[in-house]
Amino acid sequence: MVLGQSVKKGDVIVTLSSVAMAEAQAKVLITYLDWTRIQSLGKKIISEQRYLEAQIDWELAKAKAIAYGMTLSQINKLVKSNQFSQANGLFDLVALIDGTILKEDHLVGQQIEPGQTVNVITDESNMWTIANVPPDVARQINVGNKASVLWDGKSYPAVVSQIYHNLDELTRTSRIRLDVANTEDTLHPGLFVDTQIDTSNQTKALLVPESAVLRSSDGDWQVFVEQDQVGEFKGVEIDVVDIRNGQAIITGLDVGTAVVVEGAFFVQSELAKSGFEIHNH
């Protein structure tokens, strides 16, 4: 197996050898033979205590071999062979999940120390990302809320899976964990992405492009609306509730009002020149 290779659960990653494993394999064979003999004799001949001891020894021997790296199928193959020559300490380290080899930290013939990471396998079909949001916004978000992860012009469906209670020490923002579907294998660890998260206290609001909202001469927010006569515009003061991702949430305007969304700055300039209003633009 090589770095970046896709693997399936049960695929052999590397073959290892260990003195401790050889001892564990021998113990598996000994306790298995004892346990099968006890079972064949039955409880009418063997005492209850001896029967339980043999069963416990067998289960403990299996558990120890599994803890060292053997799988249950490998143990079953070993005991079926009934050959102590197979208790040589060799065993295959297999993938426990479907995924991609993210890290490979070994060489052929290398001595592996206890606790050393040999391979890291990651399943990137479903990933998670951390969104940093202001605390007042985080209070409006609950686990289970729908979200989207935006990257490279594409949107990926996501869901809020965890809300951290402690603030980020550097940004002083709340961290929201999102689980995101990555079926096309286009997202990878380390990417910076944009996110959109549905809040729980959703209310209806007017939404216009940020470019449609400008400051008037007295500093108030305004948009330009078309008058009854085509080509005639007038600035209308509004309140800006919030601006997010190039969109402005506003109040103070009737639903359905035609608003200049492109060229608003040009309209404002022409109105300033005329001192009041502009026609035929």
Least Cα distance to 280 among 223, 211, 230, 241 occurs for 230
Number of neighbours of residue 78 by Cβ within 10 angstroms? 21
Tell me the mean pLDDT in the region 65-69: 88
Q: What is the pLDDT of residue 53?
A: 94
CB-CB contact of 176 with 141 (8 Å) = yes
pLDDT, mean of residues 213-238: 82
In this predicted model, what pLDDT tens digit does every residue of 76-88 receive, in sequence order? 989 998 788 888 8
* The token pair that represents 225 in the structure block: 């609306």
Whether the per-residue pLDDT at 278 is higher than 60: the answer is: no
Distance, in Å, from the CA atom of 242 to the CA atom of 219, rounded to the nearest integer, reads 17
Q: 36 pLDDT band (50/70/90 cuts)?
A: very high
Q: Identify the pLDDT of residue 153.
A: 87
Residues above pLDDT 70, as percent of the chain = 86
In this predicted structure, which of 169-178, 198-207, 267-276 has the lowest mean pLDDT? 267-276
For the chain, state the CA radius of gyration: 34
- Check residue 147 and give its pLDDT: 93
Instruction: Give the integer Cα–Cα distance in Å for 175 and 132.
Output: 5
**Quick one: pLDDT at residue 159?**
94
User: Residues 122-142: pLDDT tens digits?
Assistant: 777 788 899 999 888 888 899
Pairing state between β 126-133 and 174-181? antiparallel
The SS3 assignment for 174 reads: strand
Q: Which residues contact 170 (CB under 8 A, 6 or more apart)?
A: none
Q: Looking at per-residue confidence, does 258 or 275 come out higher?
A: 258
Task: Report pLDDT for 62.
Answer: 95
| Residue 82 confidence (pLDDT) | 79
Query: So what's the pLDDT on residue 277?
Result: 46
| Residue 83, pLDDT score | 83
Residue of 89 and 135 predicted with greater confidence = 135
Q: How much is the pLDDT for 256?
A: 81
